Amino acid sequence: MRVGVLARGETGQLDWALSLGFRALEWVRFEEGVCAPGRADWADQADRLGAAVAGRGLRISAIGALYRNPLDPAQTEMARAVFQRAIAVAARLGIKTVAGFPGAVIVTGRDERGGHLVQEPLENHLPQVLAFWEPLARAAADQGVRIAFEHCPQGPYHLPVMHYNLLGQVAQWERLFDATACDNLGLEWDPSHLLCQGVEPLDNLARFGRKIFHVHAKDAWINRPLMARYGICHPGVAEHRFPGLGELNWAQVVHGLLRAGYDSDLSVEGWHDPVYRNHEPGEGTPLAGRQLEDDGLRIARRTLENLVPA
């Protein structure tokens, strides 16, 4: 198990990850990169990137293919092409896992009694979810690749309210895995989202450990006095942070992953910590710039490296 970081498939990004002391990466923004659908030279580009990664002593733990809604009709064909290409690249480079959002069919209507706008339960559309993903999963299995679903709810404040990710609620994990015979469909597990929803991450890890194919290492902190006053959906109640700066017991997380037979890396996901963050220009902070984000990534790496096997 190595500590890695989310990075694009570019040599400059590889050097950046290496400069921060990381030894692995999840290849993200795949749909925009050198191997995306429409690139006729994708195989040569994949080979070049694979050689650049190996030459730096790094490894790619997963391809983060697409974090959108593949079941939105406007995106479905594009999403299918992206995942098909990501699976082919993963098989070519010996990468075990392709990751992304499972998506959801969002249907809203008016309830019969009050006329209020309501959202249909996501589980009503499980057949459509399986119809999209099971052919991809079978094709991936034939090439030795598995598919990991990220479970960020994508609702307001990352809570499972009016969101478009089927697996944003843990109960849907059970329904999906019970409904499919594809053993290579699993999770890109992120304990910070569980904390933000009031789910106990270590209990969740014990229950679903065998289905965890990749991990986003991100922490969270809950402002309980603020939650007691205003409730879980109030801004500032749930806050994402780098590992080492939040509430999670990462020693127990790593221990639980190893006990479950986890065979991949810990990919630190940045961009979320409200202090150690690469603020965009114009956000009104005197500390804007790359340095804070990199400092947070270093804190996360040091926190996790003390806990993983050599």
Model confidence pLDDT, tens digit, residues 92-112:
999 999 999 998 876 655 556
Q: With a cut of 70, say whether residue 238 has pLDDT above it.
A: yes
Binning pLDDT at 50, 70 and 90, where does residue 287 land? very low
With 60 as the cut, is the pLDDT of residue 214 above it?
Answer: yes
What is the DSSP-derived secondary structure letter of residue 184? T
Residue 116 has pLDDT above 70, yes or no: no
Rounded CA separation 296/44 (Å): 35
Amino acid at 97: T
Phi, psi of 134, deg, nearest 5: -65, -40
What per-residue string of b and e applies to 235-264 under the rule 16 or more CB within 10 Å gives b? eebbbbbbbbbbebebeebbebbeebebeb
What is the share, in percent, of the chain residues with pLDDT greater than 90? Answer: 75
Burial bucket for residue 178 (CB in 10 Å: 0-12, 13-18, 19+): exposed
Exposed (0-12), middle (13-18) or buried (19+): which is 269, by Cβ within 10 Å? buried
Considering only 4-8, 230-234, 256-260, which range has the smallest mean pLDDT? Answer: 230-234
Position 285 confidence tier, pLDDT thresholds 50, 70, 90: very low
Predicted pLDDT at 120: 62
pLDDT of residue 281 exceeding 60, the answer is no
In the predicted structure, residue 282 carries a pLDDT above the cut 50? no
Give the chain's domains with CATH numbers: 3-305 (3.20.20.150)
Checking if the pLDDT of 28 tops 90, the result is yes
When pLDDT is averaged across residues 44-71 and rounded to a whole number, the result is: 97
pLDDT digits (tens, 9 = 90+) for 141-198: 999 999 999 999 887 666 666 677 889 889 999 999 999 999 999 999 999 999 999 9
